[in-house]
A and B are shown apart, each in its own frame.
Chain A
């Protein structure tokens, strides 16, 4: 999933202060929890309460889109709702915000979220961690399903550095050393031999900036 967090409310308030009629657009897509109708309504409530304290009235309309990053979907759902809308507050990731900005070039589209990375949630702990760096050259087949590009602080491709300590990374002791995890996983699978193969440096061009469907 795409991992996002709510922007500080005063930052959001600063964006919308010049406007009155604002559409809050949720996105049911990739985040956890999805920033759909509930988050959109809650954000509206919070901003209304905050506005009241500053004697500013907002006129919020609330909606949600299945996937804001799909310009076709975003246009079909939002266009009929844009009448009189001065600004849009998007609960989507940075991709959704940019898609809306492309679909409605005349209207200011503001992000209500900060977008962090592609990750997964440890649900019980409520912690979200990066899992994929979008490198364009997936190595998971040979690393026991654990990505060193995203999960090793240094993005090393051929085994742990010297800084791994009791399974933790030297850069942040609460972060697992990805290469320790890979070692343990491959050991479990009887595939430690894979670690002996050295890997050429990563081809950064593969990450790319454009692909065709």
Chain B
């Protein structure tokens, strides 16, 4: 697919014919992708700047902005299916950036069974979805947003906070009672195993947020308020002394094993930055491809890439954001370098072709499709195993 063809399909569109130029979107857009023309007063969308947070979509009073993924219709369709599947009347809407595992969610909200809805940012969920959920018979909605200073889309959590306050007031007036929607904020951060730490200071160098400090004497400590959970230090720690909550090494290893067993050869495993390409809400995945969504490509561990190959997976693709789009500071560039180093080693044993690093953006969904298509084709040609 040529770049031009890939760029034809965009994730966010604005129907300028019906736009009232109210400026809600341009005020909310964290990336100045939507702006008001000083002369004409019209709002224009510069898709090249868009990071597909969906804040404009969820908040446009005239509904002139449309999104390809996680739009109202597909969210409602998901809810209808999930309500049957999970047989619960509690819905938990979670931002992928801060959602812990099921047990963690249960503990946070004090619930036992729930319908999970994972979204790239809770800020992109339109008001109408909350109302449609209640109409569907859901009686309680819990929302898990990122801590405001942890939000990858800068304003997603803050906007959600205000939205839910307003919705609760309306729902109370309608007789649904107060606090039918509860909001909690959360974030997933680094954890140190002091018993394994060798005080080498690598994390101090790699942390883009100066969260790590190495004192002598005193050893390593992290300022968790500064940690943004990219996982770069974890993937670089020579002593395997660091973990990122919810993306623990062992957990990813188990996931690789399970996914490999599910797949049919030739097997392709994709480590995907969850902001580089959004997981599909519906549809059966190819039997040859599985995804592991990570908080940033920099959490991709060379250890796990090799483990996947050892498990009989024929090809491993790493889908990252470009350095310009990276929601963390320069972390995708570090990830690319780390994979290049691994590539040199794999080259020495004839397996270089089986690992592919690429940069994609959700603004052009065709990028990911095209990369995956080319890579799966290449792997199929190379044949099974090594």
Contact = CB atoms under 8 A, between A and B. Distances in A.
Contacts of B205: 123
Contacts of B337: 126
Given A36-B198, A41-B303, A46 B349 contact: yes
Interface string A100-131: 00000000000000000000000100100000
Interface stretch (A47-55, A70-78, A153-161, A182-190): A47-55
Given A28-B198, A33-B238, A123-B205, A42 B302 contact: yes
Nearest to A26: B238
Contact of B348 (A8, A34, A38): A8
B239 A49 contact: no
Contacts of B346: 46
B216 to A, nearest CB: 15
A50 B349 contact: yes
B310 interface: yes
B307 interface: yes
Contacts of B276: none
A151 interface: no
Contacts of A123: 205
Contacts of B198: 28, 34, 36, 66
A158 to B, nearest CB: 37
Contact of B307 (A36, A39, A45, A50): A45
A49 B238 contact: no
Contacts of A36: 198, 200, 238-240
Interface in A10-48: 10, 28, 33-39, 41-42, 45-46, 48
A6 interface: yes
A9 interface: yes
Contact of A10 (B238, B302, B348): B348
Contacts of A41: 240, 303
A39 B306 CA distance: 12
B103 interface: no
Contacts of A10: 348-349
Interface in B196-210: 196, 198, 200, 202, 205
A53 B239 contact: no
Contacts, number: 67
A196 B139 CA distance: 87
B345 A37 contact: no
Given A28-B198, A33-B236, A34-B200, A49 B303 contact: no
Chain A contact residues, majority secondary structure = helix
A132 to B, nearest CB: 20
Given A36-B238, A50-B349, A42 B200 contact: no
B239 A48 contact: no
B323 to A, nearest CB: 14
Contacts of A33: 200, 202, 236, 238
Contacts of A48: 310
Interface in B326-354: 337, 345-346, 348-351
B237 A38 contact: yes
B335 to A, nearest CB: 14
A39 B351 CA distance: 18
A38 B238 contact: yes
B345 A46 contact: yes
B383 interface: no
Interface string B350-381: 11000000000000000000000000000000
Nearest to B351: A49
A28 B306 contact: no
Contacts of B237: 38
Contact of B349 (A37, A39, A49, A64): A49
A45 B348 contact: no
B164 to A, nearest CB: 43
Interface string B46-58: 0000000000000
B386 interface: yes
Nearest to A54: B349
Given A10-B348, A28-B200, A49-B351, A42 B306 contact: yes
A126 B337 CA distance: 10
A48 B209 CA distance: 37
B309 interface: yes
A9 B349 contact: yes
B348 A9 contact: yes
B253 to A, nearest CB: 11
A45 B200 contact: no
B76 to A, nearest CB: 45
A56 to B, nearest CB: 12
A-B interface, 8 closest residue pairs, ranked by CB to CB distance from nearest: A45-B306, A50-B349, A28-B198, A9-B348, A36-B238, A34-B238, A33-B238, A34-B200
Given A41-B240, A46-B349, 6 more contacts: A33-B236, A34-B200, A34-B239, A35-B238, A49-B306, A53-B349
27 contacts: A8-B348, A9-B345, A9-B348, A9-B349, A10-B348, A10-B349, A28-B239, A33-B238, A34-B200, A34-B238, A36-B240, A38-B238, A38-B239, A38-B240, A39-B238, A41-B303, A42-B303, A46-B346, A46-B349, A48-B310, A49-B306, A49-B349, A50-B348, A52-B385, A52-B386, A66-B198, A123-B205
